[in-house]
Structure 1
């Protein structure tokens, strides 16, 4: 819990939240990551034996099949099922690769900062905030490099070893999926892209693509996530005073929470959807976790942004 509080403070002071669109994406991403920890994401794992060679019946290896299902995902058929099949060696090798990629990215970031030291045009505070912004991303990626990863065994086909891996390997996949969810948001932030940080940003995109390939995320799953993010990006700031002060009917400020406390409402930002309806920012972002539509008229925000 202490680490989580520290990361929240680091994020708040990094300057990343200064972009309204990014702030909303972070809120949405935080809710998605929290769902990976609880029962909202189910990873059911089974183990099976496969032959290394058809000529040698004794040469076998173990395949771990992870059936991944999110409660908020709507499956249309068997083709949309998410089943990740990996050997222990594949998972362990990717963990090492990810660690190497993160270290190289951090090294590139340090080099980019060094090159900019002599010609930094921003204030010292801006430079410090950008340092913290990259620290936020580094911490997010390192979550997947857990010391609890099951260790290697000489006899990996022993029932006790297989049982241990069936229980512990899904934790690595869950954390890696969390990194994927985080990077999908972080790589959109302008602070991480511009100002002489193009090389590290390109490496960040490579890490994201490699995780996506390794997890074998089904296309319907990726499409659904893009639609949810598009819905969040479609939100606009809504000036409550300018838009509602002259209305005679005193329209409900947020039809999701139905709050009528003016003191509470004043402290909560309100956003407008492309269709014209408005809600509390936090309320509608929670709604988008289940459906990228307007809670009132049910119009798809994906269609709204294309109009």
Structure 2
């Protein structure tokens, strides 16, 4: 399982949110039980790094909550969780350090996104990880506009016979949805994006609830906050 990170900085938070951090974890995969994001309680950034804690080896509240979610609820291997938490701390340190160009300051509210991708989702993972240092870095995890998503064209898929199997001349199709990695079903509903890529309707609608970009090419749809 691989990890990916993103963040948003609120420069004008509510007084009670100033100087705090929250982490939202999402597990992408075939199991619908674990595709709902889990968000930790907020914690001061000093407490996240153990400021003022006599026990330097103690884990902060956020790390404890994430470990519990990943291990107990999602049954992820302890070594994988430990590696993800180490990377999370390094990422947050990079965002909040004094030499960072992220625009973060102690009075801001920081929201961090942690995404975990099973090995079977490697195609999606690679697309999400591409060019995070480019201008689209801070916008990848903004939901697409609900109005735009509803207006997307839906079409019924008709299976295209791509090649013939040697087993009793059975013909098979090679087309599949690159989100769920399953073959398109004859008569199923597909959603073609303007970039030309097509996905199962259910898969791409769920994807656009958290990210406004195409899973493969980063084509951007209008964001929810742009339409409000």
Same fold at TM > 0.5: no
The higher relative CO (CA closer than 8 Å, separation ≥ 6) is in: 2
Larger radius of gyration: 1
Which has the larger share of helix? Answer: 1
If each structure's strand is expressed as a fraction of its own residues, which one has the higher value? 2
* TM-score between the two structures when normalised by the length of structure 1: 0.25
